[in-house]
Amino acid sequence: MNILLIGETRRAAEIAALAAASGVRVTLAAEEGNASDEFQARAHGTLAALVAAELFRDNDLDDAKALIQVGSGTTEPAAVVEACPENLAQKLEALRTAEARNPRVPFVTTTSVLSVGEIAASAASPGLVVGLSFPGAAHTNPVVERVAGRQTDPRSLSAASDLAKVLGKEVVDVIDRPGFLAQRLLVPYLNDVVTCLDEGLATPEDLDVALELGLGYPNGALMVLDEIGLDVHLERCDALYAQLGDAHFAAPALLRRMVDAGELGAVSGRGFRIGVNKEEQA
């Protein structure tokens, strides 16, 4: 199988690494240059992380790396996959790129928070547009949400399942409502923890320890946010609040201030938990 990938986000790099590790040839729709070099380096780094986590065999690493290419693919892809930042303008720009290159191939949007139907509304063939939303890190989370818009045709739906299966994911069908299931449930919870932190309920460490030991969550909410990226979470809040008008989805002021200050979590080396010592937390 081969796919055309549009977008150079961290999510895109995760998908490229996951696809290559699954034996899928990935062509990044970009001009060769600094940006695409950076993207390849990031995708290779994610592949190395898969090896480190023992999710992928070391001796296949070079083969997998070779599956990630930049520029024009030779054969028609099974699907075009977009993983652009979460705003409609960039999603539609990706749609134009896809239509110019492969007008009859299913267009898979990986949006977590925008409407599949709204993207489809701008497509020349709305039936080709389908969603595959990764609830966590694309290369490690076992689940993917498959999103059918009202316009999505059955062929595109099965193309999306085929791709999900090749990537080793369990498919959960969801309807095209803001945030689908995962973000709809996760975002208000994460926001609530940030708001309570700001109000002085407990220290960041104690909040996370309570959630881990009290509820058995693998990571507390603040560590989850550091890993998602505070900027990525902010983007999700803004998109969901705009659609739902529910204050529980509005980005907490503290989150916005931290993004303003460049404190994005793991990617920037400083967030709620990462890069913060105990004295600073108290």
Partner 1 sequence: MATDSRTVGVLGAGTMGIGIAIVVLRAGHALVWRDLSNDQLEQGVDAVRAFLDRSVSLGKLPEEAASAALSRIETTTDLEALGSCDVVIEAIFEDTALKAKTFGELDDICREDTLFHTNTSTLSATAIAAGSRLPGRVVGTHYCNPAPLMKLVEVVRARQTSDDAYHRTLEFIDSLKKVSVTTADAPGFIVNRFLVPFENDCIRALAAGLGTIESIDAITAKALGNPMGTFRLLDIVGLDIHKAVSMSLYEQLRDPRFAPPPLVDQMIAAGDLGRKTGRGFYEYERERAFGSGTASAVGR
Instruction: Provide the binding-site residues for partner 1, judged by CB under 8 A.
Output: 135-136, 141-143, 145-146, 148-150, 152, 157, 170, 172-177, 180-182, 184-186, 188-189, 192-193, 196, 199-203, 206-207, 209-211, 213-219, 221, 248
Closer CB to partner 1, residue 201 or residue 261?
A: 201
Closer CB to partner 1, residue 148 or residue 167?
A: 148
- State the minimum distance, in angstroms, from the CB of residue 76 to partner 1: 26
- State the minimum distance, in angstroms, from the CB of residue 143 to partner 1: 4
User: Two tokens at 231?
Assistant: 């900027």
Encode burial over 247-281: b for 16+ CB neighbours within 10 A, e otherwise. eebbbbeebeebbeeebbbbbbebbbbbebeeeee
- State the minimum distance, in angstroms, from the CB of residue 271 to partner 1: 19
Closer CB to partner 1, residue 64 or residue 232?
A: 232
Strands 107-109 and 129-133: parallel
Q: What one-character-per-residue DSSP string does 35-60 give? A: HHHHHHHHHHHHHHHHHHTTSS-GGG
Closer CB to partner 1, residue 190 or residue 234?
A: 190
- State the minimum distance, in angstroms, from the CB of residue 177 to partner 1: 6
Closer CB to partner 1, residue 33 or residue 218?
A: 218
Contact 200, 237 (CB under 8 A): no
Closer CB to partner 1, residue 100 or residue 215?
A: 215
Backbone angles phi, psi at 266, to 5 degrees: -55, -40
- The answer for residues whose C-beta is within 8 angstroms of residue 150's C-beta and 6 or more apart is 117, 176
Closer CB to partner 1, residue 33 or residue 214?
A: 214
Residues shown for the chain: 282
- State the minimum distance, in angstroms, from the CB of residue 133 to partner 1: 10
- State the minimum distance, in angstroms, from the CB of residue 221 to partner 1: 7
- Tokens 């990938």, located at residue: 5
Contact 13, 46 (CB under 8 A): yes
- State the minimum distance, in angstroms, from the CB of residue 89 to partner 1: 26
In angstroms, what CA-CA distances link 281 with 1, 158, 191, 272? 48, 49, 19, 9
User: Two tokens at 173?
Assistant: 């069908």
- Tokens 């940006």, located at residue: 35
